[in-house]
Amino acid sequence: MSATPEAALSDATPWEYERLREGVGLVERSERGKLLLTGGEAAEFLQGQVTNDVEGLTAGEGCYAALLDHKGKIRADLRVLRGSDWLRLDTEAAGLAALAKTVRMYSIGRDVTFAEETHSHAILSLIGPGADAVIETMLGGAPPDAHEHAFVETEHGLCVRTDLGIDVICPTGDAAAIRRTPGVEEVSAQAAECVRIESGRPRHGFELGTGTIPEEAGLNERAVSFTKGCYVGQETVARLHYKGRPNRHLRGLRLSAPARHGEPVALAEKPVGSIGSACVSPALGPIALAIIRREAASGDTVLVGEAAAPAEVVELPFASAAA
């Protein structure tokens, strides 16, 4: 499911949506960039590069984090998983170059070795309340703990808890066998995007980019540690958190007509942002995520696109309304 704007434009079919909300569906995300870090200083090194507390993780735990520039703006967002003697990182394809460059350049002289596994490993996302049952069938054992990013190591690879189900990270050659697990049926990337948008999770290449500070996208709670010590971009992130407030924020839009990525959003004829991701939800109708200026508050009506179609600004997530 590549990070291109078109990926979030098509609608989920009702049967796909029902499967993701009431059962389980499989979406392949193998195009995500993947790095394996080993060496005695790998965790300490990564701790100084990303926003979250990597050294605080124990084996079998993970976290979500961001890689920032010196101005506190997002270069990549990533998942970090910690094993007994390794760290596995995965990121949107668009963020891989920045992440790999950082590891390559700034780990020189340290006990850190890395290997790229983008093509050698697959990521299969099981989305929906039935994900645990699939893992139990596949493994004959217990799935990972309930908290996000917890994982178990199995003969099929890593099974990692997500906000919407479980990801299986495995050698590419093993992916076909996982697809054949009873109860697994593939759904479209568009269906998965619809569920993501409803849950209010921003995505790199859509809401997140090189002009975004974590707090603007609502990432502080999930991705930022304010107690771990220094990392690249920390000064801006801390100053905004403790002394200021962002000029923009992530919001949901209940649209009166379907919208597209990049369409402008205006409040009283003043531009306040643009559409990040949009879909037509079988439960909620046309909706979108957008990072917009704080003048556009929850409950306000904004105008979207050249047609100036009205939309209501709402708090996130949408998903509670779809339940």
Q: What is the pLDDT of residues 67-107, one digit of tens each?
A: 999 999 999 999 999 999 999 999 999 999 999 999 999 99
Residue 286 has pLDDT above 80, yes or no: yes
Residue 6 has pLDDT above 50, yes or no: no
Distance of alpha carbon 186 from alpha carbon 19, whole angstroms: 10
Alpha-helical regions (H) of 38-106: 42-47, 93-106
Least confident of 134-143, 180-189, 194-203, 268-277: 134-143
How far, in whole angstroms, is CA 75 from its chain's centroid? 14
- Which pLDDT score is estimated for 5? 47
In this predicted structure, what is the pLDDT of residue 7? 42
Coil vs helix vs strand at 235: helix
Contact 164, 199 (CB under 8 A): yes
Return d(Cα 293, Cα 274) in angstroms, integer.
10
Q: What is the pLDDT of residue 8?
A: 43
Q: What is the mean pLDDT of residues 108-137?
A: 96
- Residue 320, pLDDT score: 55
The answer to whether residue 195 scores a pLDDT higher than 70 is yes
Strand partners, 34: 90
* Rounded mean pLDDT, 260-268: 96
pLDDT of 10 reads 52
> Which amino acid, residue 58?
T
Length of the chain: 323
Point out which residues pair with 292 in neighbouring strands: 249, 273
Reply yes or no on whether the pLDDT at 54 is more than 90. yes
pLDDT at 3: 44
Is residue 226 helix, strand or coil?
Answer: coil
Confidence of residue 197 (pLDDT cuts 50, 70, 90): very high
Query: CB burial class (10 A; 0-12, 13-18, 19+) of residue 122?
Result: buried
Parallel/antiparallel/unpaired status of strands 157-161 and 165-171: antiparallel
Q: What is the pLDDT of residue 187?
A: 95
∠ CA(104), CA(95), CA(97), 5° rounding? Answer: 35
Asked whether the bond before 143 is cis by omega within 30 degrees of 0, the reply is no
For the chain, how far is it from start to end, CA to CA, in angstroms? 25
* Structure confidence at residue 319 (pLDDT): 59
* pLDDT of 127 over the 60 cut: yes
| Per-residue model confidence (pLDDT) at position 138 | 81
**3-state SS class at 103:** helix
CB atoms within 10 A of CB 84: 8
Q: pLDDT above 70 covers what percent of the chain?
A: 95
Let me know how many helices (H) and strands (E) the chain has, helices first: 9, 16
More confident residue, 195 or 183: 195
Q: Is the pLDDT of residue 271 over 70?
A: yes
Q: Return the closest-CA partner of residue 123 out of 157, 100, 151, 146.
A: 157
pLDDT computed for residue 321 by the predictor = 47
Query: If you average pLDDT over residues 233-254, what whole number do you get?
Result: 94
Radius of gyration of the chain (CA): 20
Tokens of 62: 């993970």
Signed CA dihedral, 23, 146, 47, 244: sign only = positive
pLDDT 10s digits, 29-52: 999 999 999 999 999 999 999 999
